[in-house]
Structure 1
């Protein structure tokens, strides 16, 4: 018997006035797997993740959470259901310490009655332990998060979502602005989140980043699905070819060769 997906989109559609942002898009997110959503700018990736994250609501189709139809009223409601989204801007405060950003709004407190104080020692130790469990080693959790590299900040955000009990982790272009080495580090922690049983949604425009960690690949182009493939059914070369436009790219290459002769 096949396990019920954590999250499933069935024929999802979304319009903004006369602009059709998504049409008939379907995919599933299973526990312990990475579903990659690929497409160029304007493909509909951002609209899809906003629907999954509760920021926007779909106009057509169904969104199912653990097999039951659902329509999240807000990102807070989605988070309450265990769906954590790490957007490109990361929602961090650069001048605040790593541990303050780790807890941001959920700080552990101590005290008696109405007199409560942030338990700084506990927060620091919890942050250090949570990062270590993900294999993330930072010089000091007291350092401002703005002093971390882009890759380190992404890893802290991933560890934060795992620590606070996320069941589904949505990552919006986590490697977009990173170099090769830092991108590799982030993908390592994406795989760790998957191995801890989370269902991961990885949004990217780079098939070379998606293929090593992905179990399923949803390709979008101008709001429409080009297909949703299991890893066994598509090679990196074919994934790259479809991303690049396939026959259109081959025709362009032929035209360019002809112009050079």
Structure 2
């Protein structure tokens, strides 16, 4: 199937329960095969972890889900409907947001500004639209309270917050777009134990609030403490996708290193 054929969204919707799914996805970078015949469905309101050794295809698959990479072949489905993403904005438009590992926060600006940068609430002043700062701080506080269940001052500069709190600010920025699916790229990398626990509690809060969550992680502790299911990649292919309560760490590591089920 050509990339032009796979990008068509005119085919019949599929009768499935998954929130987002990739079917027969292949991704080439020149002659390098990054993903090969990947089939994976993420169920609504589940936490799915993507694991694999370096170069296994985790980041590439994440970038297919969020619109950074367009599949060379294959199809993406959202709520059973075929969709096509050319940019992250396309994914955002249907309800997918990503929090990247580098966070991309501006430390010398306050929390609310970081949450709404490029997406500020506005009010009209004659023919002009200006930032509504009262709404900005009010809505930032509401996101933090309702979705993150934390007491973070939206008027405080980001530099004054801990690593875990900065991760929450990045998550809050994603939530400002009202996504249904949140993708987290190594959300606790280099964080302290306390900060990691803070992020994990927040992810559970997101699930309780009805979000579907995809986590890319190297941490087995994180996978087993958070994920409902774990999908293992090896050399660009899915080895298996299993409930975390039906697999051991040794079995996961076997699949990650050999590409075979134990």
Aligned equivalents of 2:30 and 2:239: distance in 1? 24
* Distance 1:33-1:102 versus aligned 2 partners, 3 A rule: same
Q: How many residues align?
A: 245
1:33 equivalent in structure 2: 46
* Distance 1:188-1:3 versus aligned 2 partners, 3 A rule: farther
2:70 equivalent in structure 1: 57
2:80 equivalent in structure 1: 67
TM-score, normalising length: structure 2: 0.86
**Local SS of the residue matching 2:108:** coil
Kindly state the Cα deviation for residue 149 of structure 1 after the two structures are TM-superposed.
Answer: 2.1
Deviates more, 1:73-82 or 1:106-115: 106-115
Does residue 144 in structure 1 map to residue 157 in structure 2?
yes
Contact 1:151-1:185 within 8 A present in 2 as well: yes
2:36 equivalent in structure 1: 23
Cα deviation digits, residues 155-206 of structure 1 (max 9, x gap): 1222332343101101111111212221121111111111111110000011
Aligned equivalents of 2:208 and 2:33: distance in 1? 36
**Local SS of the residue matching 1:219:** strand
Q: Which runs of 5+ in 2 are unaligned?
A: 1-14
User: Runs ≥4 in structure 1, deviation > 3 angstroms?
Assistant: 240-247
Does residue 186 in structure 1 map to residue 189 in structure 2?
no
**Local SS of the residue matching 1:178:** coil
Aligned equivalents of 1:246 and 1:168: distance in 2? 28
Kindly state the Cα deviation for residue 88 of structure 1 after the two structures are TM-superposed.
Answer: 0.9
Kindly state the Cα deviation for residue 237 of structure 1 after the two structures are TM-superposed.
Answer: 4.4
Aligned equivalents of 2:259 and 2:59: distance in 1? 23
Does residue 91 in structure 1 map to residue 104 in structure 2?
yes
Contact 1:158-1:189 within 8 A present in 2 as well: no
Contact 2:234-2:255 within 8 A present in 1 as well: no
Match of 1:120 among 133, 147, 170: 133
* 1:1-261 → structure 2 map (5 Å cutoff): 4-133=17-146, 134-138=148-152, 140-243=153-256
Larger Rg: 1 or 2? 1
Q: Which runs of 5+ in 1 are unaligned?
A: 248-261
**Local SS of the residue matching 1:43:** coil
Aligned equivalents of 1:117 and 1:168: distance in 2? 30
Cα deviation digits, residues 127-148 of structure 1 (max 9, x gap): 112101121222x322222332
CA RMSD of aligned residues (A): 2.0
Contact 2:116-2:176 within 8 A present in 1 as well: no
Aligned equivalents of 1:243 and 1:51: distance in 2? 21
Deviates more, 1:65-74 or 1:165-174: 65-74
TM-score, normalising length: structure 1: 0.87
Kindly state the Cα deviation for residue 221 of structure 1 after the two structures are TM-superposed.
Answer: 1.9
